[in-house]
Amino acid sequence: MTGMSETTYRDALRQALDDAMGADSTIVVLGEEVGRYGGAYGVTKGLIERHGADRVIDAPISEAAIVGAAVGAAMTGLRPVAELMYVDFLGLAMDQLANQAAKIRYMFGGQVGVPMVLRTQGGTGRSAGAQHSQSLEAWSVHTPGLRVAMPATVSDAYHLLRHALTLPDPVVFIEHKALYTRKGGLDPAAPDAPWGRAVVRRPGRNVTLVAYSRMVHSALEAAAALAEAGIEAEVIDLRTLNPLDMETVAASVTRTGRAVVVSEACLTGGVAAEIAARIQEDCFDWLEEPVIRVAGEDVPIPVSPGLEAASIPGAPLIADAVRMMLP
Amino acid sequence: MATTRRRTKAQEAQSNRPSADELLGYYRDMLLIRRFEEKAGQLYGMGLIGGFCHLYIGQEAVVVGIQAALEQGDTIITSYRDHGHMLAAGMDAKGVMAELTGRRGGYSKGKGGSMHMFSREKNFYGGHGIVGAQVPLGTGLAFAHKYRGDRKVNACYLGDGAVNQGQVYESFNMAALWKLPVIYVIENNRYAMGTSQARASAGELYQRGSAYGIPGRVVDGMNVVSVREAAEEAVAHVRGGNGPMILEMKTYRYRGHSMSDPAKYRSKEEVNKMRSEMDPIDNLKRILVEQGVIDEERLKTIDREVKEIVTEAAEFATQNPEPDPSELWTDVLIEA
């Protein structure tokens, strides 16, 4: 299939898995409800019919063993896609991810890698409550030896996953539950940008908004609102957090002189803090204002829709932060 | 060099009784592990090995007996008391010792140390430091065997401490459910660090898989022939597509949990009784001499050969250079 077509984030992910499995018999999908049920969010629907129960494997509710078995299989050269239904369940599998998957190449002196993908989803937006709505990417970003991808667009959902399924190292691939039904264009033959490169989603000269995952869309919404007031915000979609493309960020900030880092994850100790620190280190002489983080509140995620929405940044908050920075 | 005592098809066709040559081989392999570990203990005492160093002395019959039942292509994975497993798998003593001293000629280029080594060639998958965490990995290795249909098995070693980790049971369930070709070898050396089995584990360890329908068997882990015999039965069961099996090896470690452990949680009498009555190497030697398989001259030759290997390994491990400083940043991730 070639050429651009309109599809959803969910269908793009499924197509990526389907196409990758068709091209590479070492890929197996392993997780809770990935087979007959079709995935809790429907991403793996139909894969078991197309690729068989030997390759699309319904696992018991055993996150540590799902991830651990994927690590062991990956060491032999298989390419497992282990699925965690919610990123919040990472706590159950964190030993296998952080102590095994991330360490194996280094502690064995480079003799063996772990070419697996840990697919999961996080974030708010469905009143899923404190144990099913978190943004825990910082756990993985803070662990050397892991790649981390967080697609914001339909096209990236496909292309970043396809690319992740070619990498020699473990990739934590974090989808956003509120993006599954989002529509967008996809050309399977044309990725947005190479893996590891950030993309400027909207050009602007007054301020740089750095975002990833769903917050890219909130930042774009804020930029549209600001444009009506004559403020031109540049919006950067990081796409991957490891690699972290600070070159693209710095190229923007050295032009605009102002940076806002937007993240749905809670503020303290988050990825936004790391990015803000790097901007400050890389671009200090160009900055007109201190770098600002606009991030989630330091609270567990509440269920009630009003409270839930208030726990994370929205476009108005991002726009307010920008206005505060400008003279 | 350590030899891997794998059996040929012709030998398999014969009875389970090991041949004189095989017994001699086991004796030599166990002795190599013993002498290697003694030397590692010395180097540790001299400050040439840092960090952790968990000696296998006393448990040698377990890995040598298991290895004897495996065939080329079967995979092995274990925890951090791993030097014996590597030597039994045929890994080079020089490379293992140099890893203990953190040198560039070590199996992991000095970046892994005592607990973390790997050999694709010998199908040794580590060398893991988190208690019990190698069990899901071994289960995954078995999954890969089954997925590829290669009729190979995984020998997944764990200790009597690891049996109380939750992820072990997640793995047991998966392995039984999917009939994965894995043998869980529980090395029950009676102490999880300083806590005796009686103080930490309810019930019998060989029965820990019974709720999943995993057959378990208790084995005299101080007797290499008993270990081999049980391992052959288990390998046949597992290779035959019948799912996992558990072997509980009753064994004993003579030294502390690690080099920093004075082992005050047990009596000297207990240790001395095990060493004098149950030692796997002494007992096999006595049988070999009594049966006339071996004479004093041959014993001396084996002793000398083993000593040479260990001395050479220690020399290599102390003279080999440390890793280049640039190695700090390599092997984290492959640029792509």
Amino acid identity, residue B245?
M
Per-residue confidence (pLDDT) for residue B203, from 0 to 100: 96
Residue A192 resides in a domain: no
Residues A25 and A157 placed together within one structural domain of the fold: yes
**A127, A155, A186 — which closes off a domain?**
A186
pLDDT digits (tens, 9 = 90+) for A6-15: 999 999 999 9
Active site residue A159: no
Residues A118 and A87 placed together within one structural domain of the fold: yes
Return the beta strands (E) in B33-107 as ranges: 75-78
**Alpha helix (H) residue ranges in B77-183:** 83-88, 93-100, 134-148, 166-177
Residue A165 resides in a domain: yes
Residue contact A110–B331, C-beta within 8 A: yes
pLDDT digits (tens, 9 = 90+) for B190-224: 999 999 999 999 999 999 999 999 999 999 999 99
Per-residue confidence (pLDDT) for residue B147, from 0 to 100: 98
Residues A243 and A291 placed together within one structural domain of the fold: yes
Phi and psi at B179, nearest 5°, equal 50, 55
The CATH number for A46's domain is: 3.40.50.970
Of A3-7, A293-297, B9-13, B324-328, least confident by mean pLDDT is B9-13
Quote the minimal CA–CA distance from A24 to chain B in Å: 14
Quote the minimal CA–CA distance from B230 to chain A in Å: 25
**Rounded to the nearest 10 degrees, how much is the dihedral formed by the CA atoms of A7, A8, A10, A14?**
10
pLDDT digits (tens, 9 = 90+) for B156-187: 999 999 999 999 999 999 999 999 999 999 99
The mean pLDDT of B63-78, rounded to a whole number, is: 98
Per-residue confidence (pLDDT) for residue B14, from 0 to 100: 52
User: Which residues form the domain of A221?
Assistant: 199-325
Let me know: does B134 contact B126? Beta carbons within 8 Å.
yes
The CATH number for A269's domain is: 3.40.50.920
Residue contact B144–A104, C-beta within 8 A: no
The mean pLDDT of B17-35, rounded to a whole number, is: 95
Per-residue confidence (pLDDT) for residue B65, from 0 to 100: 98
Residues A13 and A112 placed together within one structural domain of the fold: yes
The mean pLDDT of B239-255, rounded to a whole number, is: 97
Per-residue confidence (pLDDT) for residue A10, from 0 to 100: 98
Whole-model pTM?
Answer: 0.95
Q: Number of folded domains in chain A?
A: 2
Q: Within chain A, which residues score under 50 in pLDDT?
A: none
Residues A232 and A283 placed together within one structural domain of the fold: yes
Residue contact A145–B333, C-beta within 8 A: yes
Per-residue confidence (pLDDT) for residue A111, from 0 to 100: 97
Closest by CA to B69, choosing from B238, B302, B241, B282, is B238
Q: Is A3 exposed, middle or buried (0-12, 13-18, 19+ CB in 10 A)?
A: exposed
Per-residue confidence (pLDDT) for residue A136, from 0 to 100: 98
Residue A193 resides in a domain: no
Residues A182 and A209 placed together within one structural domain of the fold: no
Chain B partners of A28 at a C-beta cutoff of 8 Å?
147
Give residues with Cβ within 8 angstroms of B11, minimum separation 6: B19, B22
Per-residue confidence (pLDDT) for residue B43, from 0 to 100: 97
Residue contact B336–A59, C-beta within 8 A: no
Closest by CA to B156, choosing from B144, B170, B142, B167, is B142
Residues A30 and A166 placed together within one structural domain of the fold: yes
Quote the minimal CA–CA distance from A113 to chain B in Å: 9
Per-residue confidence (pLDDT) for residue B1, from 0 to 100: 39
Per-residue confidence (pLDDT) for residue B273, from 0 to 100: 96
Run of H or E including A85: none
**A186, A220, A242 — which closes off a domain?**
A186
Let me know: does A32 contact A59? Beta carbons within 8 Å.
yes
Residues A167 and A232 placed together within one structural domain of the fold: no
Of B111, B177, B336, nearest to A109 by CB-CB distance is B111
Per-residue confidence (pLDDT) for residue B35, from 0 to 100: 98
Which among A51, A132, A176, A217 is annotated as catalytic?
Answer: A132
The confidence band for B8, taking pLDDT boundaries of 50, 70 and 90, is low
pLDDT digits (tens, 9 = 90+) for B94-150: 999 999 999 999 999 999 999 999 999 999 999 999 999 999 999 999 999 999 999
* pLDDT of B271 higher than 90: yes
Q: Could you give the domains of chain B? A: 36-319 (3.40.50.970)
Let me know: does A81 contact A75? Beta carbons within 8 Å.
no
- Give, as one character, the DSSP assignment of residue A30: E
Phi and psi at A280, nearest 5°, equal -60, -40
* pLDDT of B68 higher than 70: yes
Residue A157 resides in a domain: yes
Mean pLDDT of chain B: 94
pLDDT cut 90: percent of chain B above it: 91
Bridge partners of A210, per DSSP, are: A236, A261
Chain B partners of A95 at a C-beta cutoff of 8 Å?
130, 133, 167
Per-residue confidence (pLDDT) for residue B9, from 0 to 100: 52
Residues A237 and A91 placed together within one structural domain of the fold: no
Per-residue confidence (pLDDT) for residue B7, from 0 to 100: 54
Residue contact B140–A74, C-beta within 8 A: yes
